[in-house]
Every structure is written in C-alpha cells, then in structure tokens.
Structure 1
Amino acid sequence: MLLLVYDFMPNGSLDGHLFGDQDNTLSWERRYKVISGVASALHYLHNEYNQRVVHRDLKANNIMLDSDYNARLGDFGLARALDNEKTSYAEMEGVQGTMGYIAPECFHTGKATSESDVFGFGTVVLETVCGQRPWTKIAGFQFLVDWVWTLHRDGRLLEAVDVRLGKDFVPGEADRLLMLGLACCHPLASERPKTQSIFQIVSGSVPVPYVPPFKPAFVWPMMEDVVDDTATNTSMNNNSRSPYAPALSSSSSSSSSFYNVSAWRGLQSNVIRTGEPRPLL
C-alpha cells in the first residue's frame, strides 16, 4: 500500500480566510506573509528545482496555511515539469485551470508557461489585498483587475484595500503589492516580472516595475510595438467587460476545468487583433 503523507495545515486555505465563515478578518501582517510565502514557492518551482515546473492552477483555494500562517502552495494535480529547454506545456484538450486566474494568451496558444503562472500569482495578490474574488463585479467592472487598474489611473490605488481591514494596514506595503499584482496581470506576457524579481519586490529590496496608468490592450499575435500608453485605454471604455477574459463555459463542473479555445474567438470587440488566433497545439 502506498500512502501520501502531508504536513497538517490547521488554518485551511487562503480562500477560506478571505471568503469563508471565519470570525476574524485575516490581518494585514498575515496577508503580506502569505504573499511572500507564495512568491518564494513560485520562485522555487520556476528557478530552483532541478526542472522548471509550471503549476497551472495558482489560486487562493490552493494556498494552504500552517499553524503560523506560513503559506504552502498545494494541489499539484495540474502541475507539469518541463523537459530540457522547453518553456511551455500544452494540453490537446484545451486550456486547463480556473477561470479568473488563466492568462489571456493561454486561450490562443493552449500553452502554460512561467509567465502564465505569474499572471495567476498576480490575481492572487490582488484578491488577497482587496478581499475580492477575481471575477467580482464592482463599480461597474466585471473583473477585479480592471477596477484596481482604474484606481491606479486615478491615483486612488489604496482604495482597493479590503475595507474589512479599516486602517489596519501599512500603506507603503499595500501600494507595493497592488502595483505588483497589476504588473503580474499585464496583458502582455513579456511585460510581466520574473519570479526572481517578484520575490525581491515583495521583500522590498527592489522597486516595483512601471505599471502604465491605462491597462494595455491584449494583442494577438504578440506585436508589442503596436501598443502604447496613449492608445491602450480600450479597457477603460467598456467597464462591464474585461479586455481579455470573456465568460466561457467549461466542459466540467469542477473548479479547475478545460476551456475550449474556440469559445474564446470572436468574443472580444475591444481586443486589438493583428491576425487570426492560432489553433490549439
């Protein structure tokens, strides 16, 4: 008989603390500690393990907390180790993961990469700081990232901090994490910070990368030179729809599901297209 033995995680999942029935609001100190722990775990998977590993389903429900609220990244059922010099992993069936945490390019390539993991991490950062789920409809926006980006544009970024915290948070740390979350959720994969930089940003040893005031439009195929700050405010002109995350029906009722790339095509009027989406590999 084979047995799997895991450390006991008495404090359950991050999702449970943010959105469950716990009596006490997760403190700012613990939220920051959790994000730091997840950043360290992701850095290990991408850079320090003997093979690069893409997790493919980074979300609050897969982050477990021990007795001291140290974060442990769990649920490696979708994770894949990349052989040799490979930088991506593709499923023939479609994009797998949890809606709201899947990077936009995955719907066109069907590939999971380090950059798509970073997108998922950025989403976790935003929901941890804001106390809102990624697909929360708030202030007329369908997705949390769009609302936070608008607050950044308007110079009101700290208004995104979870209201349950009141004033019990460190403004400088909150600003750093919110800006990091936006940087990690950049629509262009090449513009997202690497995991080594992310860990240094969380620790405060390096500054957060520049985040444009207007959310850049998602472009496919990637031609980054056609996008600049003055021409990429399409996401702000349609508050009810994200520029890259349409509502898709999954092929499974589970929280982590396959998504058909064909459901993505043709749905986004505010996505800049420079060619037809590539078929699933």
Structure 2
Amino acid sequence: MVWVQYDGVSRQLDVFMAEQLRDPKTSDFFIRPRPTNPILTANLNLKDIVQQKSYFGFSASTGSAIQLNCLLRWNLTVENLSGVGSEDSKSQGLKIGLGVGVPVVVLLLLGLGGLVYYMHKRRRAAASDPNILGALKSLPGTPREFEFKELKKATNNFDEKHKLGQGGFGVVYRGVLPKENLEVAVKKFSRDNLKGKDDFLAELTIINRLRHKHLVRLLGWCHKTGMLLIVYEYMPNGSLDNHLFGGPENATLGWSQRYKIVSGVASALHYLHNEYDQRVIHRDLKASNIMLDSHFNSRLGDFGLARALDNEKTSYAELEGVPGTMGYIAPECFHTGKATCESDVYGFGAVLLEVACGQRPWTKMGGFQCVVDWVWSLHRNGSVLEAVDERLGSDYVAEEAERLLLLGLACSHPIANERPKTQAIIQIISGSVPVPRVPPFKPAFVWPSSSMPEGVSSVANTVNTTSSWPLGISVSDRSEWTPRYDSQDSYGGAGGYSDSSSLV
C-alpha cells in the first residue's frame, strides 16, 4: 500500500509504503494504518508543476517499461488548510468555495426550473393538443365530449372489477353515467402505444359517421391529461366468443340465436363495404369483436384497425406489418401487406365456422392443424354436418347448418377472387340463393394468384348456380375452359391436404 501526502502550507510531499496483508481465511485485504516514517520526502511547489485546472487520479501505467502492474483501489482525502496559514490562504479558500458553490447552486436552480417548466408544458400539451382537439371538434355531427372526471366516476376510477376486456389498443371498462343512469362501455387507449393517437382518431372518425343497426353505437369521446377514451353503448350480453367459449357457466347459444347473429354481422359487413359513402375495411373481424345486445342481436364493434378507403382505392396497407388476429387473417395479406374487402370476407368465413362448429379457428381437429381444413375434409367425405357443435345435439336445422358450413368454406377460399361478395353472402344466408359449389379438396394457396379466363364468372359471386359444371360456367364457356377441381392430384396429392396450402 502507498500513501502520498502533500501539505500545501509547508509545500512538502511525503510518500509512505507498507506491505499489504491478506486474511488467510477470507483472502480479504487488511486495512493497515499509515506508517510513521515516509520513504520519500520532497519539497515541491505544486503551483509550478500542476496547472490550476487539472484532472487528478491514479493509473497503473508504467510508460515504456514492460512490467505489468494493477491498481486495485485508491482514495483521495482533502483536509482543510491549517489555521496557522496566511491570510492569503484563507482568502484563496473562500474564493474556491464561492467559485465552486455558487455555480453549482445556480445550475441546480436552473435545472429545477427547467424541469418544472417542461412538466407543466407537457401537461398542457397533453390536456389540449391543438391537432387532436381540432380534428375532434371538426367531426361531422360533433359527438359528445365527456369530462374525464365524469368517466372516472362512472368506472369507479377505472376499477379492475369493471374491466370488460383488453386488447392491443387498451382496456374497455363498464361504467354507469350518474346523470343519465346509463350503462356505457369506456375504451381507454394505452399511453404506451406510440400509434395510440392515430388509432384513436381513426376509430373515432370512422365510427362517428356510421349508422347501422348491427354496429355498436358511438356515444362520445374524452381527451384529458394524455388519456384517450371512447364511449360506446354498453352491450349487456358481452361478446360472441364469451358465449361460444366462456365455459360451463354460460348457457349454450341455441341454433336460432347463432343463425340470427351471423345474419346481422353479414348485414353490417355489407354496409361497410358497399352502402356507406366510403368503403370501410374492418381488418379485425372475429368473434370477440361481435357484441350482443339484450336481445342477442349482433353488433360489430372495435374499429381500432378499421380504415376508410379513398375514392377508387380497394386496399389499405401499413408499413408496420399485417394487423389482425391469426386464424382470421387471409393468406394473401402476408404477401401483400394489404387489407381488402376480400380479406374481411375471409375473417367472416372463420367466424361462420366458429359459430357452426363451436371451435376456435386454430383448434386442431381430426388430425388437421385448423378447423377450416377439418371441415373441408368432412365436406369431401360427404359428412360436413359432423362438424356441427356437439353441444347442440340434434337441436339445429340441418339445411341451415350445412349452408353456414359450406358458406364458411367458400369465404375461406385461399384465392381471394374466389370468395363471395357480401351481397351474395346475405342472399345465401337468407336462403334466396343456394350456396356456391365448394370444391371437395381445398385449393392450394398460390401467389400471385392466376387470373380467371376472360368472361368466366367466379363461383363465389354467381347468383344462378343451377349449372352442374364447377364454378357456374355457362355453356358457351365450356369448350374453352377446363374445370379446376376435377382431380385430387391437382390439390396436393392423395388426401388433398397439405399444411402449406393454408396460412391461417
């Protein structure tokens, strides 16, 4: 161990050295007192050697020598100057104290003031963002702006007991507006979501303009202290998936209720795609986003991913990737990154099979990786009704069940252009037109998809399907067209099933 001591009054430098000893049991170093006698003494005026502004420390450097040294630790102790010193030394100490202390205090005050100003400015900006408030105030019809304290009271300070659900955009709470004694659903967007503001505006802008009996009704919004909230009409019977998969405590949905629910969703989807001023793509159609009112009428909700398309546009894409839920996302979306009306129909097909089978889309059934492949195999064997939810027993209408199962397969067609349009879907569910012919073997997904021959109408959208030819081809087309579904060899060999043919 080495001690280096310098006295600024006497201008004397002393160096002390002693052997460092270890504890044999713990191998720790003993802390030894400094020896009495120095091994080196020198009279030095450090003012002539060290500059006024210098860095102080130790290193184990040996310059050009080749030996290797290691500096384990070091300590610096500065003692006050002795009172015996001159007035100059006292004055110098005072100057040093003032020179160091005053700037430090000033910097602390400036830092504290800057922090207070930043926090105040941030709160004001969060509470009254002119961009978001301007967009909200300009919404047609001007939906109601709720006070934050009103929603806080309605949800009992957003109590976990009032939580209805949680997703990527935030949490939904049940609340009761005290003045109106009205039950509401309050969707609170997550602060941590960087896209939260854009998604909030997109959802509010779209749902504010939509008017349909099978869509969840918007009541208003709130933007306060960085929190974004949307208020919806409360659906007392919750979501469809809770009734399908909520456990034994939930009564099994009857067949008539299921059929009415999918009929309402089809009507809402047709409205979004064709009857509103702009084409709206939902992009997240699934059972958990289908709400049920007190009479079990379906209401399509959660428009957090929905987007309205400008004139002549048929798709919407994002750089962040493919949004939605696995099992409901159309296979082409993974290649194009675009959402279309056809991809919405694919999600609806997954819901149809979910409702009819009582199984989630990704459930492994009968040795198949997903429900759609299992149902397709039953269809090929002529026993598609075996897919009907076993909890129903025989309490269902066979004709309607077969209709929903085959329509679910048609909507789940790997080729987007082969899926039915919403107008045809409504007609099929109502029974006014028959289900389009579904091939016995699930076609393989091919990208890019080959276009159909000119003049050939798609199976999915043919109103008159009385022709016995596949895909509803007219007589004049038969000589120039070869049916796609004549042999199982065309669709993956024996059995017609291949995991790679389905990306769900």
Whether 1:176 aligns to 2:412 is no
Q: Distance in 1 between matches of 2:380 and 2:369?
A: 17
**C-alpha separation between the residues in 2 aligned to 1:235 and 1:11?**
46
Mapped partners of 2:379, 2:282: distance in 1 = 29
SS at match of 1:206: coil
Amino acid at match of 2:356: V
Q: Structure 1 residues 54, 235: CA separation in 2 closer, same or farther (over 3 Å shift)?
A: farther
Q: Is the 8 A contact 1:130 1:161 kept in 2?
A: yes
Counterpart in the other structure of 1:244: 502
| Residues 55, 76 of structure 1: 8 Å contact kept | yes
Corresponding letter in the other structure for 2:318: E
* Partner secondary structure for residue 233 of structure 2: coil
Match of 1:85 in 2: 312
Residue identity matched to 2:416: A
Deviations 1:14-65 (A, max 9, x none): 0000001343111001000110010000000000111000000000000000
CA displacement at 1:238 relative to structure 2:
7.8
Aligned counterparts of 1:77 and 1:167: Cα–Cα separation in 2:
39
- Distance in 2 (CA, whole Å) between partners of 1:9 and 1:236 is 48
Answer with 216-225 or 172-181: which moved more: 216-225
SS at match of 1:6: strand
Which residue of 2 is the match for residue 268 of structure 1?
none
Residue 101 of structure 1 aligns to a residue whose secondary structure is: coil
Per the alignment, residue 234 of structure 2 pairs with 8
TM-score (norm 2): 0.47
Structure-to-structure mapping, 1:130-279, within 5 angstroms:
130-223=357-450, 228-229=484-485, 230=487, 231-234=489-492, 237=495, 241=499, 243-245=501-503
Q: Which amino acid is 1:228 matched to?
A: R
Residue in 2 that maps onto 1:112: 339
Quote how far apart the aligned CAs of 1:210 are.
1.2
Greater relative contact order structure (CA < 8 Å, 6+ sep): 1
Which has more radius of gyration?
A: 2
Residue of structure 2 equivalent to 1:31: 258
SS in 1 for 2:266: helix
In the alignment, the residues of structure 2 paired with residue 122 and residue 195 of structure 1 have an alpha-carbon distance, to the nearest angstrom, of 11
Distance (whole Å) between structure 2 residues aligned to residue 135 and residue 227 of structure 1: 31
In the superposition, relative to structure 1, how do residues 209 and 60 fare at CA in structure 2: closer, same or farther (>3 Å)? same
Pairing 1:43–2:270 present: yes
Q: How has the CA–CA distance of structure 1 residues 97 and 157 changed in structure 2, closer, same or farther, with 3 Å as cutoff?
A: same
Kindly tell me: are residues 227 and 101 of structure 1, through their superposed partners in 2, closer, same or farther at Cα, counting changes over 3 Å? farther
Structure 2: where are the runs of 5+ without partners?
1-146, 148-220, 223-229, 453-481
Instruction: Report the Cα offset of residue 125 of structure 1.
Output: 0.2
Instruction: State the 1:234 CA deviation.
Output: 1.9
Whether the aligned pair in 2 keeps the contact of 1:57 and 1:98 (CA below 8 Å) is yes
Task: Quote the Cα distance in structure 1 between the aligned partners of 2:420 and 2:447.
Answer: 20
For the aligned residue pairs, the C-alpha RMSD in angstroms reads: 1.8
Secondary structure of the corresponding residue to residue 308 of structure 2: strand
Q: 1:122 aligns with which of 334, 342, 349?
A: 349
Deviation of 1:156 (Å): 0.2
Q: Identity of counterpart residues, as a percentage?
A: 70
Maintained 8 Å contact 1:37/1:70: yes
Which one is further off, 230-239 or 215-224? 230-239
Count of aligned pairs between the two proteins: 246
Amino acid at match of 1:6: Y
| Kept after mapping to 2: 8 A contact 1:140/1:240 | no
Report the TM-score when normalising by structure 1: 0.83
Q: Where in structure 1 are there 5+ consecutive unaligned residues?
A: 247-281
> Which structure has greater strand proportion?
2
Q: How far, CA to CA, are the matches of 2:494 and 2:389 in structure 1?
A: 22
- Residue deviations 1:235-261, cap 9 Å, x none? 875868352227xxxxxxxxxxxxxxx
Would the aligned equivalents of 1:215 and 1:235 in 2 still touch at CA under 8 Å? no
